Structure 1
Amino acid sequence: MHLLTLFFGTVLLHKAYTLQCYECTMGSSGTCTDSQKECPAQCAAMRVISYAGGIKVVDAHMKSCAAAEECGEASINFGVAKTVISSKCCNSNLCNTQPAPEPSRSSPNGKKCFQCDGQTCTATVNCGGNEDHCISATVNVGNTKSTLKGCASKMVCSSMAAAEIKETIGGDFSCCQGDYCNSASSTTAGLLLLVTPLISLVMFS
């Protein structure tokens, strides 16, 4: 009898603490078909915008689950390439119907990190908004390893986001706090490599 009570209690508690959320990814074509999925914590609507050389190259809308630390605004800034993320979270069934707003424009916050310019990583990038970490990333492209350096928000450096970045870029990265803590080194990274690994950064599992 106690086993049956425990079993049904566990099942009912699980159902009580999960949400039904919309799940969707919309690319530049503007089409998005919502499906539904169970989420353990919160629903979210997200917007990801990537810039290369100051030109917007990606503007994607997404809907899915989210953990508390994945809600809000974040960015990762390599100087010539930047990706900004806006996540609007809610905690009732199918609440993520509205798209996330465009991320707010950020102004320099005084923090400085190394960035890569051509073959060296001795240039400076001025961090903006809530970019309070410096970041160094190594991307594996074929048999070549390329290094990226810049600024990042705390959300990007969180343990959950970090695992997704490592899987996406097929390499490794590290965050640190303090001006120029991502010390300089040589690189062969191309502009395209700076943008494409970041698109699935906010694709919540």
Structure 2
Amino acid sequence: QPDYLLTSYYAYKENGDLLKAEVLISANHSASMMQVWFATSLTQGVRQLEHEMVQDLYSQFGSDVVYVGFTGTYTNNIEAKTLTEQEVIHSDAIVIPVSFVLLALVVRSWRMIFIPLVSIVVTASYAGGILYLIARYWLKVTSAAPAVIAFLIVALSFDYSLFILTRYREEIQAHGRTPFEALGLSVRHSGHVIMGSGSTLTLCFIGLLFIPI
């Protein structure tokens, strides 16, 4: 059994297999693909060679008219990872500052706005560690998972902080409570709302583990 197998439009055409040949070429015959299968033992070592080969081909033949590239599971995984990182950075660069400004306008305290920041950092650390363990030892995790987690962390951190902090500020300014009393009342009145909402979301996401979507 050979260590690799190469197929192309011209190879199939020379062998008389026109049906398979047409699959590897565009309708107007302006683009074509080659398929290369490597033995498992060669897969790791050949990846770097793939990148070097494509870069060399593009430097020789690439232009605004001719594009040289390659695709496959490994390439798709790299692209998905890169796009996910870019999306998270781009969205957080906009969402987080705006959220901090809005929260500061509501609670009117620059010290209180550090609470959701601490929540984001701690939650992201825990979530990243748990996601790593799940992906490594249990389930195959989609490339969209980190972006979804990042959005949820930011949204829920500010949302739940807003519940607690607005109640805390109200107890101090409107009712003249001490900080300790205001904290206790905030947890008593707003804490069960946060617990109920968080528990519902947790159960929903746990349920998704058992639904093939």
Q: Per the shorter chain, which TM-score range?
A: under 0.3
Whose strand fraction is larger, Structure 1's or Structure 2's? 1
Whose helix fraction is larger, Structure 1's or Structure 2's? 2
Structure index of larger Rg: 2
Higher relative contact order (CA 8 A, sep 6+): 1
